[in-house]
Amino acid sequence: MKNPLRLSPEPVEASIEAAAAHAEDISNVFRDLQIVLPPDTVIRRDEPLARRTTLRVGGPADLYIEPGSDNALASTLEIAHLRGIPVFILGRGSNLLVRDGGIRGIVLSLAHPHFSRIEIDGERITAGAGARLKNIAHEARRAGMGGLEFFEGIPGSLGGALRMNAGAMGAWTFDAVEELRCMSRSGAILTLPAREVPVEYRACPLLQTHIALGAVLRGRPEDADAIRSRMDQFSNKRWTSQPNQPSAGCTFKNPQPTLPAGRLLDELGLKGARVGDAMVSDVHANFFVNLGQAKAADILALIERVRARAREERGVELETEVEIVGEDA
């Protein structure tokens, strides 16, 4: 007589076998990387990602790597390709929601000082993808270079700003880019003038398939005190119009040029809406904040609740601006 409690064991057994095979693949890649990569490369297993995102939620990465050079980055990509291991590029985690199950495969971060250098030459700044935008803005100010002060109000690194064509205070990242340097997933390095790089609202399609290594930014000569004054204005505006709790920045893209998502959610009375410790900010409705113990699942449930209200009451289909990655727990 068949055991009624085990009518279909195959899917469970197949899942277990797949998990075991994946764990073995990760172990092999970990070993290979330890052999090939130089000692200054950071390589960790099961690295918690919640502390590496501004929203402070999310599970672990199978492998977390900070390469210390272009060659180390290319070697990592080569090994990942040969082993069939997926690679995810992590910036400063300011526009990112990692699911509670974490990210399978390799998470690459260009946080090593090699990728964070900022060099000034006349009206140009050459900066690595890992350079903080705030640092670029302040270096430009000290050099009397205007036009880059809007970076001060964008949390994150240059690589992430390039990938998203991030904007603030009416300016966009690629407005200031003269030249882009990036790497293909096969390890080839490309240097392109900005005019040859198509960009969109909140996106640079090329950097969906390539990894930003850095850029040459161009400013204009200007009095440092005037630049400082604008930066102070931008900073004050940001701190008075945005919440100070952990968030991922704007949750949704503006559905129409004349209809900001924050205004729409405010009109729908959604400020303060909660799922667990995830809340629609009462300061800016397009910011979803972590009140302390939120899970990614709470944020995702709140996103779907808000999207449903916008759809049902206004006929608006909201598209997330925050990047949602990883697996459920």
At 10 the pLDDT is 64
The percentage of residues in the chain with a pLDDT greater than 90, rounded to a whole number, is 76
Q: Which residues of the chain are in CATH 3.30.465.10 domains?
A: 117-225
**pLDDT per residue over 106-153, tens digit each?**
999 999 999 999 999 989 999 999 999 999 999 999 999 999 998 987
Average pLDDT over residues 276-294: 97
Give yes or no for residue 15 having a pLDDT over 90: no
- CATH classification for the domain delimited by 244-322, as one of 3.10.129.10, 3.30.420.40, 3.90.78.10, 3.30.70.20: 3.90.78.10
Average pLDDT over residues 142-167: 90
Nearest to 328 by CA among 298, 308, 307, 304: 298
The band of 202, judged by pLDDT with boundaries at 50, 70 and 90, is confident
d(CA 100, CA 89): 18
The percentage of residues in the chain with a pLDDT greater than 70, rounded to a whole number, is 96
Choice between 118 and 18, residue whose per-residue pLDDT is larger: 118
Tell me the angle at which helices 133-142 and 224-241 cross, rounded to the nearest 10 degrees. 150
At 22 the pLDDT is 86
Q: Which residues of the chain are in CATH 3.30.43.10 domains?
A: 10-113
Give yes or no for residue 6 having a pLDDT over 60: no
At 26 the pLDDT is 93
Choice between 15 and 272, residue whose per-residue pLDDT is larger: 272
- Please tell me the CATH code under which domain 10-113 is placed: 3.30.43.10
At 4 the pLDDT is 46
Average pLDDT over residues 30-39: 93
**What does pTM read for this prediction?**
0.86
Q: Which residues of the chain are in CATH 3.90.78.10 domains?
A: 244-322
Give yes or no for residue 1 having a pLDDT over 70: no
Give yes or no for residue 53 having a pLDDT over 80: yes
At 18 the pLDDT is 80
The arrangement of secondary structure in 117-225, i.e. its CATH architecture, is 2-Layer Sandwich (3.30)
Q: What is the mean pLDDT of the chain?
A: 92
